[in-house]
């Protein structure tokens, strides 16, 4: 069987689900998903592992340092050759940086010097620190709601919002990929969103967002998202 035929068979075997926040668990177990993923080529399996490791909330331990988190992002960009998956990664870093900035400012933090966090909007956020949404309403229309949820001290609601935004971003990319590796990788990332929500509770959500704000304080270390720096 050719790689293409194998991927067609793999994707055809993956159950779909649109019931985010309604379903109590992902459409299949991680064990069953892993069994299906054995159809990936070694190189594609490696890229998927890099992508998941860089994006999954659960892979960022509470004691990971700023420099370690940033280096993981640099390494991921260097090791992900597919343009669509690089865009997926960039969008997630943009989201995390924007939310970390909201969190820091909510806690009374002053605008950092230079850039803030990671992504394409790091300098823009610093330059527009006093604006309620850092003037990101266009590219990030969800920012106003995110700020309101922070003000309301609703970390679980904020997590739900951000998972929903990430889900929509992934579905948009999925519409352009059907029976290729990118389609498989996007499916796995969506599976992770379902799994994250199934495990969510308010206390854990609060801890994650607190740590996110602390990580993004390493604003002096920038990443070139058009081409990963060394």
Q: How confident is the model at residue 166 (pLDDT cuts 50, 70, 90)?
A: very high
Mean pLDDT of the 95-124 span: 85
Computed over every residue of the chain, the mean pLDDT equals 82
Q: Which residue has the tokens 């951000």?
A: 162
- Residue 211, pLDDT > 60, answer no
The pLDDT tens digits of the residues spanning 5-57 come to 889 999 999 988 767 666 667 888 999 999 999 999 999 999 999 999 888 75
- The pLDDT assigned to 175 comes to 93
Q: How confident is the model at residue 115 (pLDDT cuts 50, 70, 90)?
A: confident
Mean pLDDT of the 77-97 span: 92
| Burial category of 110 from C-beta neighbours within 10 Å (exposed 0-12, middle 13-18, buried 19 and up) | exposed
Q: Write the DSSP symbol of residue 201.
A: -
Q: Which residue has the tokens 């996110």?
A: 212
Q: What are the residue ranges spanned by the domains of the chain?
A: 61-225
- The pLDDT assigned to 220 comes to 35
- The pLDDT assigned to 138 comes to 95
- Residue 109, pLDDT > 50, answer yes
Give the C-alpha separation, 130 to 111, whole Å.
8
- The pLDDT assigned to 156 comes to 84
User: What pTM value is reported for the model?
Assistant: 0.82
Task: Render the chain in DSSP notation, one character per residue.
Answer: --HHHHHHHHHHTSPP---TTTSSS-SS-HHHHHHHHTTS-HHHHHHHHHHHHHH-GGGS-TT--HHHHHHHHHHHHHH---HHHHHHHHHHHHHHHHHHHHHHHHTTPPPPSS--SSSTTHHHHHHTTTSTTTT-TTT-TTHHHHHHHHHTT-HHHHHHHHHHHHHHHHHHHHTT-SSSHHHHHHHHHHHHHHHHHHH--HHHHHHHHHHHHHHTT-TTS---TTS---
- Residue 219, pLDDT > 50, answer no
Range of 93-97, 113-117, 138-142 with top mean pLDDT: 138-142
**Which position has the higher pLDDT, 72 or 154?**
154
Mean pLDDT of the 117-141 span: 91
């Amino acid at each position: 069987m050719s790689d293409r035929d194998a991927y067609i068979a793999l994707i055809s075997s993956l159950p779909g689900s649109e019931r985010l926040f309604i379903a109590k668990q992902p459409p299949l177990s991680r064990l069953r998903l892993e069994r299906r993923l054995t159809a990936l080529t070694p190189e594609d399996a490696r890229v998927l592992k890099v992508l998941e490791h860089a994006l999954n909330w659960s892979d960022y331990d509470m004691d990971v340092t700023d420099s370690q988190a940033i280096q993981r992002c640099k390494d991921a960009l260097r090791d992900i050759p597919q343009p669509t998956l690089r865009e997926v990664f960039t969008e997630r870093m943009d989201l995390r940086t924007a939310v970390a900035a909201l969190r820091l400012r909510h806690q009374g933090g002053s605008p950092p010097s230079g850039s803030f966090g990671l992504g394409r909007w790091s300098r823009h956020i610093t330059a527009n620190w006093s604006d309620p949404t850092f003037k990101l309403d266009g590219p990030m229309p969800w920012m106003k709601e995110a700020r309101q949820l922070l003000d309301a001290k609703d970390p679980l609601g904020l997590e739900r919002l951000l998972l929903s935004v990430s889900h929509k971003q992934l579905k948009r990319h999925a519409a352009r990929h059907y029976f290729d590796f990118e389609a498989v990788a996007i499916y796995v990332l969506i599976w992770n969103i379902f799994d994250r929500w199934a495990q969510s509770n308010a206390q854990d959500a609060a801890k994650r967002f607190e740590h996110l704000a602390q990580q993004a304080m390493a604003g002096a270390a920038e990443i070139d998202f058009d081409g990963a720096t060394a």
